[in-house]
Amino acid sequence: EVQLVDSGGAFVQPGGSLRLSCEASGFTFATSGMSWVRQAPGKGLEWVSYISSSAIYYADSVRGRFTISRDMAKRSLFLQMDSLRVEDTAVYYCAGTGRFFQDWGRGTLVTVSS
Amino acid sequence: IQMTQSPSSLSASVGDRVTITCRASQAINTYLAWYQQRPGQVPKLLLYAASTLHSGAPSRFSGSKSGTDFTLTISGLQPEDVASYYCQQYSSAPFTFGPGTRVDVK
């Protein structure tokens, strides 16, 4: 059974940084593309970033501020978020595998506010 | 690639046939997925490749494609189908979602 456990969300001030994590199990993590998808309160889904063995992509809204990475040994996906803005406030979901998302974490809440 | 959806919301009776349309701003072949998100829950994959039903998704859900227009059909709306529905293109990055369609039962 595929499991994605995302964590790391917190309250942070504008301009601050945060690192989200997602622990994966139940599938071949090393060969699977993974994404972060976010959802602002009361709003729709927004794809944020994707990583695979051959590519890394970012949404325009986060490029240059967020960095996606993964640790194969720990079977973990990460999202380093710098220069956070109020508009980054959202539930962040770890999602996979591949370019569409059959598996989702439960989400972790990031609140950016002064 | 921009994705639009219509309508933004709808209300229908149990047993009704419901249709949601998603339009891509350029050709995406069949690289389109549909998701269901019930209130307070995590999104679930319903269909991928425009018309392939994901394992475990009810057979009353179906998808089709005509050019850059994609349709999600619910054949016989059920009370548990109250949710928001999102399309997503995965033809090329950024892998954009549509704005969503909220479905309620009268």
pLDDT tens readout for residues A81-96: 999 999 999 999 999 9
Burial zone of B43 (CB within 10 Å; 0-12 exposed, 13-18 middle, 19+ buried): buried
pLDDT at A30 over 90: no
Distance (Å, whole) CA A111 – CA A87: 9
Please report the pLDDT score of residue A28 as a whole number: 86
Average the pLDDT over A41-69 and give the result: 97
CB atoms within 10 A of CB B9: 10
Number of Cβ within a 10 Å radius of residue B36: 23
pLDDT at A50 over 90: yes
Could you read off the pLDDT of B13-32 as tens digits, one per residue? Answer: 999 999 999 999 999 999 99
pLDDT at residue number B77: 98
- Chain A interface mutation, best of B95, B97, B101, highest count of A Cβ atoms under 10 Å: B95
Residues on chain B touching A54 (C-beta within 8 angstroms) = none
Q: How far apart are CA A20 and CA A80, in angstroms?
A: 6
Q: How far apart are CA A77 and CA B84, in angstroms?
A: 27
> What integer is the mean pLDDT of A58-81?
97
pLDDT at residue number A31:
86
Nearest-neighbour CA in chain B from A45: distance (Å): 6
Q: Which of B35, B51, B92 to mutate to test the interface with A (most CBs of A within 10 A)?
A: B35
Residue A109 has pLDDT above 90, yes or no: yes
Residue A97 pLDDT > 90, yes or no?
no
Predicted pLDDT of residue A29: 87
d(CA A86, CA A113): 6
Q: How far is CA A70 from the centre of its chain?
A: 11
Inform me whether the pLDDT recorded for A60 exceeds 90.
yes
Looking at residues A8-13, what average pLDDT do you find? 98
The phi-psi region of residue A71 (left if phi > 0; otherwise alpha if psi is between -120 and 50; otherwise beta) is beta
CA distance A96 to B25: 25
Report the pLDDT averaged over residues B70-85: 98
**At residue B66, does pLDDT exceed 90?**
yes
